[in-house]
Structure 1
């Protein structure tokens, strides 16, 4: 029985040149198979490369997931801070007294009332900066915000013990109302 190659030549679907090229390629493949010990080395190398590629991809995926998780965490903290500030900010509409403070090595000014200035100086209130806007909030809320992100709280003075000392030599003297520092 004639081979498939002979049949193709008789039908005119292939020529002598293609037949010789096919025989040559077949011999080269057989020669390579004889040189390799049963093909285990190339299979092992391929498996090793595939395993290594999977490990590298898994490592890249873990790193990408970690970065996404950190970004989501940062956004959640910013949302918490924004909510705390928006729900607890004090109104500054009737402020006539300028309260000056330093932020990013620049002197900033807020107009608030006298009671707010006194509370800011005593550490009962704090100034926060969120999206370039300054707001006055209570000290307890400012401490919560500081736990999440210290850079948001601009002014928060430490509370001192009350100035009502029994041994205060100036306790009987009243501070004049027109005295401004």
Structure 2
């Protein structure tokens, strides 16, 4: 193994006088350190360590971002696969409009009366994925909601409790009311 000084000498970047002076300065500095009992601070070494620490920290941050992006991509793929495998038909002759809200907008799909009954009962749930509206069983929708709750449309079930001071308590809302 050839030292850096020898490599510089061979390359002609330094001459023997400069190498000798550098060695003398180094040994003089070590001698002074032993006499005083203090160690000199090597700024170059400290700067190199600080740069190395910053580079390692930046590499960790980039790896964390890359891992998060890969994880998000995997979640999207899982959701797409679950929807693809478990989507239910809206019916062959879908003629009944079913309205729902998604992203603060009222959307409409056409389903059969049987599918509408399943939607109202909560057995089927609407999932909006990449602009497409699909129907999936509630169990699958719960699994999808664990990964991304924003794409699952939850139909609010009507509460059967009546408040005491409700002025409209005597008026019943029909089950087949379409809006």
TM-score, structure 2 normalization: 0.66
In structure 1, what is the Cα distance between the partners aligned to 2:118 and 2:156? 10
Gaps of 5+ in 1: 1-25, 162-174
Counterparts of 1:28-67 in structure 2, within 5 Å, are: 38=29, 41=40, 44-67=42-65
In structure 2, what is the Cα distance between the partners aligned to 1:157 and 1:115? 19
Q: Alpha-carbon deviations, 1:63-97, whole Å to 9, x = none?
A: 00000111111011100000001111111242110
DSSP-derived class of the 1:71 partner:
helix
DSSP-derived class of the 2:93 partner:
coil
Equivalent pair of 1:96/1:111 in contact (CA under 8 Å) = yes
Q: 1:116 maps to which residue?
A: 115
In structure 1, what is the Cα distance between the partners aligned to 2:155 and 2:128? 12
TM-score, structure 1 normalization: 0.65
Match of 2:77 among 76, 79, 82: 79
RMSD: 3.2
Q: 1:129 maps to which residue?
A: 128
Residue 158 of structure 1: how far off its partner (Å): 5.3
DSSP-derived class of the 1:128 partner:
strand
In structure 1, what is the Cα distance between the partners aligned to 2:118 and 2:159? 12
Name which one, 1 or 2, has greater alpha-carbon Rg: 1
In structure 2, what is the Cα distance between the partners aligned to 1:69 and 1:55? 21
Pairs aligned (count): 139
Gaps of 5+ in 2: 1-16, 31-38, 161-173
Alignment CA distance shift 1:47-1:100 (3 Å): same
DSSP-derived class of the 1:38 partner:
helix
